[in-house]
Amino acid sequence: DSGVTQTPKHLITATGQRVTLRCSPRSGDLSVYWYQQSLDQGLQFLIQYYNGEERAKGNILERFSAQQFPDLHSELNLSSLELGDSALYFCASSVAPHGNTEAFFGQGTRLTVV
Amino acid sequence: GQQVMQIPQYQHVQEGEDFTTYCNSSTTLSNIQWYKQRPGGHPVFLIQLVKSGEVKKQKRLTFQFGEAKKNSSLHITATQTTDVGTYFCAASPAGFGNEKLTFGTGTRLTIIP
C-alpha cells in the first residue's frame, strides 16, 4: 500500500460527459502529480500541484482541469469526454515540489468512455 | 521539451537470462529514477540516481547513471518470473524549476519459464 488513495477505481461513462477523479496523497506529501496511461502505453504527465498551487503542466488537454484543495487532496476533471480519453489515470504524491524525490503512486482510476 | 526514450520497448527472455533496459534523454538530467509496474498494477519506485557515473545495486538489479547525466541503464542478472513487468525510467531536467518528472516509454519484460 503506497498510502495514496484514488477514487473511483473504475468509471464507465458516455462520450460528451464530465467526470471527476479524486486523489488523496500520502500523509505529509504536499506535491501531487497526475498521469495518463493509455493501453500498453507509457505514463503521460498531465499536471503537478504543490501545496495548492500549480507547479508544472504537461500535455494536458483544455478539456481537462485539476486542482489541489487546502486539505491537499486533488481532483482531476475531465469534460466533453471522447473515446480516446479511455485510459488509466494515476495520481502520485511526493514530499517535495520538484521532481527529484520519490513519487508514490495510487492504484489508478480506469476510465472507459463508451 | 524534454524527451526520455527507452529501449527496447519489449524484451522476452528465458528465465535465468540477463536483461538490460536503456534510458536516454535529450537534455542533461538532475537525477533519474527507476520504477517497476507489474501487470495490472501501479508504478513502484525502485531507486534514484543523482551523481554522474553513479552505480547502485539492489540484489540482482544494477542501476547506472551516465557520466554526462543524459542516460541510464537497469540490468537484471539471472531473471526470475517475479521480474515480469514494465520498467520505467523517470527524469527531471537539470537546472532551476526542475519540477516535472518525465517518464520514459518503458520496457516490458516477459519471462519464459
Going by pLDDT thresholds of 50, 70 and 90, the confidence category of residue B96 is low
Of A43, A58, A99, the CB nearest to B92: A99
Q: What is the mean pLDDT of chain B?
A: 92
Pairing verdict, β A74-78 and A19-24: antiparallel
B-interface mutation test, from A1, A26, A34, A43, most B Cβ less than 10 A away = A43
The reply to whether B10 touches chain A by the CB within 8 Å rule is no
CB A91 within 8 A of CB A74: yes
- Under an 8 A CB cutoff, do B100 and A2 touch? no
Q: Read off the pLDDT of residues B38-53 as tens digits, 9 standing for 90 and up.
A: 999 999 999 999 999 9
The per-residue b/e assignment along A6-35, b for 16 or more CB within 10 angstroms, e otherwise, is beeeebebeeeeebebebbbbeebbbbbbb
- Under an 8 A CB cutoff, do A105 and B44 touch? yes
Going by pLDDT thresholds of 50, 70 and 90, the confidence category of residue B102 is confident
Residues 49-78 of B with CB under 8 A from A: 50
| Chain A neighbors of B48, CB-CB under 8 A | 100-102
> CA-CA distance, A83 to A86, in Å (whole number)?
6
Interface A-B: count of C-beta contacts within 8 A = 66
Q: Which of A2-16, A49-63, B40-54, B88-102 has the lowest mean pLDDT?
A: B88-102
